[in-house]
Every structure is written in structure tokens, then in C-alpha cells.
Amino acid sequence: MTDRAAGRQGRAAHEEPKVAIVEESRPWWKSGTWLGRLPSPRELGACGVSFTLHLAVLIVLSSIILAVPIRDRLTLSALPLDDLEEDLVAQEFHFSADVHDEVGALGDKGLAAARPTAPVDAAESQISYELEPTTAVGDIQVQEFDRAMLEGPKIPENVIVKGAGSVGTSGAMGAVDRITHEILLSLDERPTTVLWLFDQSGSLKPQRESIAKRFDRVYEELGVIQKSGNEAFKHGEKPLLTVIAEFGNLVQLLTPKPIDDLTEIKEAVRAVSDDTGGREYVFQAVGFLAEKFRHQRLARPRRNVMIVAFTDEAGDDIEALDAAVDVCRKYEMPVYVIGVPAPFGRATAYVKYVDPDPNFDQSPQWAPVHQGPESLLPERIKLLFGGRAKMEEQMDSGFGPYGLCRLAYETGGLYFTVHPNRETGKRIQPWETAAMSSHLSSFFDERVMRNYRPDYVPTRDYYQMVKSNAAYTALVEASQLSATTPMENVRLRFPRIDDAQFARDLSNAQRTAAKLEPKTNALVAILRQGERDRDKVTTPRWQAGFDLAIGRALAVNVRTEGYNAMLAEAKQGLEFKDEQSDTWELRPSESVTVSSALAKGAEDAKKYLERVVADHPGTPWALDATQELREPFGWEWRESFTDVAGRIARAEEARNRPRPERPEPPRKPRRDPPAL
């Protein structure tokens, strides 16, 4: 059939129903004669054409729908996961790094403003457990107690334990809010007992009252939730029980039994006393509490048990760490620690102490406190150039002290590094440091530092790991050796009055370099032995640590030997080009011209340091490497005029001139900081 014929047939098929409608005033099924006749051929044809057209339209529409990609259709109905998670979390327990009045802030203000009230007499309710003192055996402190008492099972390596080595906060009260959230999650599973353990050291004194006030808010918030009918509180009559304890060189229970009375809890917290002994046996205290309240985990019905420790030191009984980890894992007791950040690669931090009595001198004093390092052994060499050994500038390591962080990490808890000056991307000056806080000049993004977590493994495993790689061994040995090699001041200006005086000054300066040179040579020799295994190092932390150590050691060695060589060269004779010049100055230079061996050392040092900066940005290793690269490795002599003769004459005149007596202004007496 041609197209024209098909068109005529189609028009005829469409025109037929119109004629039928005009001829009949009623539908054919109401005509009364439909039972007696069959449809005509024209009616059958019209029905067939209509059916064909409608079927074609349906096929076309179906094809269009099927042609749309399924991912486009799914995207229209998908709901972001973040929105779902926000709807599932109770608003009262959101937490952030900012300061808020509501529960949920990981921030704090005014840590130094609050003073503790007089302690409540709780002698009748105190139970004491004396921690045995340590005995020095060589250079290692060995604990004299039965390890078998705290021995736990050996958990397989494939068992995953949730925990965090470090969570940065700016205030202890904000950390308490986060722990409130953890308590609620525990209550959602089963009834819970929380063991609060307070350090008695004097450096925590300004914070105790503020923490006690925050305790009121914590339990009030939990009480509000209980009254609102939260499912987490429907496990029994006393779903949440509390124990308050304190520790120093011994541990005391301020509540003999777990209690749930808020008034008694407040009195116990404010009854924490000050210990001036200066010893904190935190790991023994944690192990004691875990054994003391193990029946809470073993009895029926079982309860969850959480241990929350407040301390601002690293602990003086690191030898008891493995036992504390074992017993807490044995009874499944997570440990949460509200502590301080560890200084990068250092065991000692310097706390800003201001005498609380206004009748005494109020100028800041820097008291050494044991707050690090962040690893089992220091993994950062101690090198200074310029005589700054007394007060070294320190940085945040990104983590807390090794022992406490490992305790929290391996038991499924959290460690909160509390520092009121925490602010990334800003350099903190000493005068900006809050009172009773350590001075840390720089803080780092914890999201970056997460990739540089120390090895939280048992002591035996750590030593085996160090021995397995020459680079690890070299770094640890160099870090221990350099910790006892402070640098002395380096003289760079040499006035020339006469040849004899000039030669004496050069010889005296050479003695300083001669003392330093063997030490830097020893550092370089140790670290050079680790180069053969450097390519086998795969973890970012050890890569950055080794590269920084050998880069800095080479840089200081090149400067030291170059300094000595330049002084020896000057003793052979230096002539001023300008007749007015009277002083020789030794200035840093980018070029190393003394010898080819030193030039090769400078090239290697630059290679290692630049690799640290490129591969580990935003870390303390990169900051150290950057500072080292700012100082050139070579030296050069420059002549200048400093009026040496005139200064000598004026000094003689001033020495002979009588000085008028000036009354000194009265000064307040000054006393040394107590044991913190």
C-alpha cells in the first residue's frame, strides 16, 4: 500500500465515527437492536487502527523512561548521610572545639581564674591504698609489686580495639562534656559505673573547682534526660553509679562504695586534696581501681565500667603501664584521660607559674614538669646552636604522653590534650601562655597528625621493632645521645686591636668549636649507619623522624667544622681592604668553600631537610626542618668599622667617673615554685 493510499484510508477511518454519531442519537449499545447484529467491517477497521495508534504511543513513552540513566533517577530521591546522622544524635550532646554554655563544648575559658574551696572533711569515708615506691635499677625505674596480680590475657593481634590516642581541646570542662556523651552511649547499652580519678598535683589546683562545677552540669543534664524518659535509663533503679578517687604516690577512695547521690558526689570532688610529694603513680592507680571494681563487670547483672583520669603529667610509673593495659582490657574497662599535650620529642615541659599570693613577686617563673615524650623513647635529637639549652622553644607533638595515650588507645577510651592556648596556624609567645600551662609555641592540625601516631605497642614489641631496622636504631640512639650535649654560645665578632689580641680571641673561640665538633661527628656517624635501611622505612612518622635527625646533624656538623676551619684560616693572617675597618665578623654564607667533604655534607643535609618539608607539611618535623634551612651552612669573613678604640676609651672614662647613688625601688620577695 502506498503512503497516499494509507493516508486516504486513515482519513476515512477517522471520518466514519463522525457520520455514525450524527445518524444515531443514542449509543449503539442502547439502540435495542445490538443483540441482533454484528459489527460492520468498517467498524472493525476503525477499532484496529485506534488500538494500533494507542499501542505505539505507549511503546514510545516506555522507551523514553527506560533510556534515562538509573543513577540520575536515584540521585533525585537520595538523602545525604550527614543529614540522617544529625537527626539521630540528641542535640544536648553535640560537641565542638568552641566554647559553649551548653554541654558539648570542647573548649574552656578562665582555667586560671577559679580557686578551690576548703576541702570537705571526708576522713570517715576514705579508703587508702598505698602505692609502693620505685627502686632505681640502672637507668630504668622498676616497680616492686606482683605483676601477676594485674596480668591479663594476651589478646590476638587481629582483635580490633577502638580508641583514640589524642583528641585536642582547649579546656578540661569541654572534655568533660565529651565524656558525658560517652557515658550516655554506655548507658544505652547497660547500667554503668564511672570511676573518676583525680591527680593531686598542685598544678591542677586552679582547675579542680571549675571541673567540679562542670560535674554539676553533667549530672544535671543526665538527670534531665532520665526524667524525660530516655531509653538509656530504663535498665534498673540505679543505672548510673559514681566513684571518686584521688592519687599521688598513693590512691584513696573518697567514696567507699559507688553512689548515685549528686550531693555526695559534689562533696567528694571538692574533697580532693593537694599532694606536694611531686610523684604521680597513675598506672598503678588505674590498675588498682580496675581490680577493686572488677565485680561490677563479673557479677550478674553486669555493668559497664568507665575510668576517667584527670592529670597534667606523664606518670612516674611507666613500668606499670603494660599491667594496667592488661587488666583494663581483661575486664573491658575503657580508660579516658583528661591530660595535657606532650612536648614534641621531649620528656620535660616548662609550666608558667605565677605566685598566687599577691604579696610575693608576680613575675612568671618556668617550672619543669614531666609531660612527655609522646613516644616510649624520644625520637627527636636535641640540637641547639646558639646557647639556648636552658629554655628550648618547644612545640606540641600532636599527642599526649605515650603511656597515658597508649592506655586510652588500647582500652577503647580517649585521651584529651587540654591546653588553653591551642590554636593552629599561630605562633604562641611566652607572655601569651596561660598561667599553670606549659609553653608550646606551635600547635598542629590533629587531622594531619593522625597519620603520625606513635607506635602504641607493648614495651617488648617496641624494642624489637627498633632493633629490626637500622634507621630506627640510629634515630633512637642519636636522640638519647644528643639529649646531654647542649651547645655553647658561638662568637661571631672579633675586634682587632693588635695581632696578639686578635690571635688570642680566635684561639679561645676555637676551643668552643673543638668541644662541640666531636659530639656532632658522633651524631653523624650514628645516623649514617641508619641510611642503609632508610628505604625500608614505610611509616610517615619514622620517615620524618630519621630524615629530620640526619639532616639537622649534618647541617650542624658542617657549620661546626666550617666555623673551626674559618678561625684557623684567620689565624694565618687576614688583611683589611678598607683602612678604616677594625673588626672582623664571621657571617653565615650559602656556599661551603672549606673542603669538598663539608660541601658534600651540606648537600646531603639540604636533601634530607627539603624532603621533610615536601613530604610532611603541617607537622612539627617540617617546622623544625624549615627553621634549620633558614640558617646557611657555610661561613664567610666580613670586615666592618665598629670604632673599637673609641668604645674602649669611653668605657675607661665611665669606669673612672663616680656614679650617683640611686635608690632601688622596693621589690616584693620572690619564692620558688612548689612541686607541680
Share of the chain above pLDDT 70, in %: 70
Examine the pLDDT at 619 and tell me if it is beyond 50: yes
Using one digit for the tens of pLDDT, what is the confidence trace for 334-374? Answer: 999 999 999 999 999 999 888 888 888 888 989 898 999 99
Q: Is 584 helix (H, G, I), strand (E, B) or coil?
A: strand
Spatial separation of the C-alpha atoms in residues 69 and 65, rounded to whole Å: 9
- Tell which residue, 411, 417, 374, 458, has the closest CA to residue 286: 411
Poorest-pLDDT segment among 50-54, 335-339, 400-404, 543-547:
50-54
H/E run at residue 549: helix 540-571
- Tell which residue, 444, 370, 443, has the closest CA to residue 404: 370
Spatial separation of the C-alpha atoms in residues 234 and 227, rounded to whole Å: 11
- Tell which residue, 288, 282, 287, 274, has the closest CA to residue 311: 282
H/E run at residue 639: strand 634-640
Per the structure block, which three cell numbers stand in for 141?
625505674
- As a whole number, mean pLDDT of residues 586-602 equals 89
Q: In 330-368, which positions are buried (b, 16+ CB within 10 angstroms) versus exposed (e)?
A: bbebbbbbbbbbbbbbbbebbbbbebeeeeeeeebebbe
Per the structure block, which three cell numbers stand in for 420?
588553653
- Tell which residue, 257, 249, 238, has the closest CA to residue 131: 249
Spatial separation of the C-alpha atoms in residues 402 and 341, rounded to whole Å: 10
Using one digit for the tens of pLDDT, what is the confidence trace for 241-293? Answer: 999 999 988 899 999 899 888 788 888 888 888 876 778 899 999 999 999 99
Do residues 316 and 136 make contact, with C-beta atoms less than 8 angstroms apart?
Answer: no
- As a whole number, mean pLDDT of residues 534-562 equals 94
Spatial separation of the C-alpha atoms in residues 336 and 164, rounded to whole Å: 10
Using one digit for the tens of pLDDT, what is the confidence trace for 3-59? Answer: 444 444 444 444 444 433 334 444 444 444 444 456 667 666 777 777 777 777 777
Using one digit for the tens of pLDDT, what is the confidence trace for 475-484? Answer: 999 998 865 4
- As a whole number, mean pLDDT of residues 371-397 equals 79
Poorest-pLDDT segment among 64-78, 380-394, 625-639:
64-78
Reported in sequence order, the residue ranges of 181-301 that DSSP labels E, i.e. its strands, are 192-199, 240-247, 250-253
H/E run at residue 612: helix 596-615
Q: What is the dihedral of CA 516, 517, 518, 519, to 10 degrees?
A: 50
What per-residue confidence (pLDDT) applies to 233?
58
Look up residue 149 and give its DSSP letter: G
Report how far apart the first and last C-alpha atoms of the chain are (Å, whole number): 107
Do residues 168 and 214 make contact, with C-beta atoms less than 8 angstroms apart?
Answer: no
Do residues 311 and 282 make contact, with C-beta atoms less than 8 angstroms apart?
Answer: yes
Q: Is 416 helix (H, G, I), strand (E, B) or coil?
A: strand
What per-residue confidence (pLDDT) applies to 131?
57
Examine the pLDDT at 129 and tell me if it is beyond 60: no
Question: Phi first, then psi: what are they for 395, rounded to 5°?
Answer: -125, 160
What per-residue confidence (pLDDT) applies to 324?
96
Examine the pLDDT at 126 and tell me if it is beyond 60: no
- As a whole number, mean pLDDT of residues 625-640 equals 90
Average pLDDT score, the chain = 76
Spatial separation of the C-alpha atoms in residues 3 and 10, rounded to whole Å: 10
Q: In what order do the strands lie in the sheet with 493-495?
A: 493-495, 583-589, 634-640
Using one digit for the tens of pLDDT, what is the confidence trace for 151-207? Answer: 434 434 333 344 555 565 555 666 777 888 888 888 888 889 999 999 987 667 666
Q: 10 Å Cβ neighbour count for 422?
A: 22
- As a whole number, mean pLDDT of residues 629-657 equals 82
Helices in 203-281 by DSSP H: which ranges? 205-227, 262-270
Using one digit for the tens of pLDDT, what is the confidence trace for 483-531? Answer: 544 445 678 888 888 888 888 888 888 887 788 788 889 999 999 999 9
Parallel/antiparallel/unpaired status of strands 140-143 and 414-418: unpaired
Using one digit for the tens of pLDDT, what is the confidence trace for 194-239? Answer: 999 999 876 676 666 777 777 677 777 777 666 666 665 554 557 8
Share of the chain above pLDDT 90, in %: 32
Using one digit for the tens of pLDDT, what is the confidence trace for 557-581? Answer: 998 889 888 888 888 888 888 888 8
